[in-house]
Every structure is written in C-alpha cells, then in structure tokens.
Structure 1
C-alpha cells in the first residue's frame, strides 16, 4: 500500500508541476498549448491512488487504531452502509409500486376500450330503435287509412242493403210515371251516379264502380248538388 501511495503522490506532483510549468510559460508570453490529455489523467490517478492507500495505512498504524476520530469514521461508514441498504430497499419497493401502477394503468385502458365499445353499441341500438319507430308510425298511418276505407265500405254495404230491402216502384202511380220516363232518358245520356245515401259519384270517383245503390243519374255535378246530393269525402 505504501508503493500505491508513492505512485499516487508522484502522479499528483507531476500534474501539479506540469500546470506550474504551463503557467510559467504563459507569463513569459510563449505560445504553448495546455494538454488536458496529459494533465487530467495524472492528476486523477494520483488522487485516486492516494485516497485508496490512506485507509490501509491508517488501519495499520497503532496510533490510528487508538485515535477516536478513526472510530467515528468507522461508525459513520456503518451508518452510511445501513443508509445505503435502506435506500436499496426503498428502491425495490418503489420498483414494485411502479409495476403495480403500470398493471392498473393497463386494466384501466382495457376498461376504457370496453366502455367506448359499449357506447358505440348503444348508439347503434338507438339508431335501430328510431328506424323501428319510424316504421311503426308509417304502419299506424296506413292502418288508420285502411280503417277509414273499411268504414266507408261498410257504409256503402249498409246503404246497398237498405236499397235492396226498400220496395221497388213499378210505376203503379200515374203521377210518377212521367218522372220515371225522364229519369230513364237522363240515365241513358248522363253518367253521374246518385246513391241512396245522398252522395253522387263521378266516373273518376274512387267508389264509382262499387256504387250499386243508384237512385238517380245526373248529367253534371251542379245538377246533382241542386238535387241535394253531395260529393264523397274521399
């Protein structure tokens, strides 16, 4: 260890001598370049060797063993060792906590993906419900129209039944004989049907072909309205 100390001191002295030589040359205004490659390695090597050899020399000296300052240094070294061990333990705990946090982050990311997927599914279901509601509305409207048509058909059927059950006029009354002749003449020339329920139907009417309970034929709409007949609602 003494040789190590000597080598360290020599390297240190060489570095210090080189620095002093450089400063001396600098004062004399000489152009010289300071070599860091030469200075720093010797300086650092000298310091390291000197520091490494000092504890061994101190431990070998009987005075150093009796010196209370060395005992204090040993205590501090033990404390530092204990502190270092505690720091290592804390580091391991922090590493474990970091792993747990990373796992929780992955779990939360998966849950977020699932929530996003469920949100898209709910959107699609809402769109499907809206489409079904629109279809239901259309079907309801069509159903109402069909009910109205069915009601009109029932009314026409009832009117036809009433006409069939009514007694037929065979011309037994002399007063009505002339009017029947006029009706037959108008029927031959006119094509507007007047039903028993007071409704007239033109050839373009929806129920023109279905109307069988005809009581009178008209040549014009105005003539039918003057006679007290009205147009169909549909």
Structure 2
C-alpha cells in the first residue's frame, strides 16, 4: 500500500509540474498544453493517494500502537510466568496438605494406641491393687495362724506342766482362795479377750460390759501368754 501512495504522489507531482511548466511566461510560444495528459495523470495520482490513505492511517496507528503492544506482550508473558509459578506453588501446597493429612492420621492412630495402652495400664493397676489386697489379707491370716499355732502349742505345754506339777499347799487362806478362784475360772473357758488387748474374768468389773470380744480363754495364764493384760481397775 505504500507503493500506491508513492505512485499517487508521483502522479500528482508530475501533473502539477507539467501544469506549472506551461504556466511560465517563457513557454508561451511552445506547443499547447495537453489536457489529455494532465488530467488522467492527476486523477490517477489522486486515486492512488486516496486508496492508500486508509492503509497509511492503519499503518500509522499500528506504528503508534507498537510500543503499547510490546508492553502488552511483555505483560502477558509476565502473567503467564506468574501463573505457572502459582500453579507450581499450588501443587507444592497440595502435596504439603496431603502430607499433613497423612501425618494427622498417623498421630490420631498413635493417640488411639496410647489411649488403649493407658486403659490397659489402668486395668493392670487395678489387678495389682486387688492382688496386693489379697496378699495383705493372706499375710494377716498367716500371722493369725502363726499366733494361734503358738497359742495352741503354749496351751499344750501349759496343760502338760499343770498335769505334771504337784499341788501347792499355801500357808495363808488368801492364797488358797486365789488358787480356788483361778481353778474355778479355768474350769470353763469364760475369760473374755477384748480388742484392746485386755482380758476380763467373770469377777471383773467390766466383764458384762465387754462386747468386742476377739477370743475366749480358759485361764488367765493363757490370756497373758497370748499378749493380753488384766484391766487396771
């Protein structure tokens, strides 16, 4: 289209120069001005110029728009680069989120295992506590059996000694009475052994009041050997 513009300008210039050449005074005696050459060349030049003007304006606009177009292209490339970076960041974040989800599931499973182990430990503690209570009961029963064995063996020895020992003859009447009272008391196993470790004979002041009896004895000696004592009053 630039060629059309150039041809139009040349044609118009030729027609104008041709007319200007014949208008000069020194050419008045030369051949007559040819209208058949002037007008077609002028019209053809004008047509070429008019046809090329829109295209020239478009080219000018394109030329003016080129810097902005280049800037737009640069911006578009930058946006494309940013979008690719954002996509990469999105993929990394997605992977990180998946890893975090898996780690969360692992921690949840560990927490469940710890909770179950804690419950198992509590059950074991309860079992151990029950066993300790049973052991304490067995130990106390064992101690009781040992005491009863000692008491039975001591009772057996005392009965053997009483059978083999001669009868004592006291000089005073009080001695005979105490021996008679002891024999009467030992005739029946009616001596009360209280929880406080005190034994009460039927002649004792608190005999009828004593209700927390742990064991009955047949003699004072048996009660004392068992670790019981006489009341202070």
Q: TM-score range by the shorter chain?
A: 0.3 to 0.5
Provide TM-score, normalisation by structure 2. 0.48
Provide TM-score, normalisation by structure 1. 0.47
Q: Please say which structure displays the higher CA radius of gyration.
A: 2
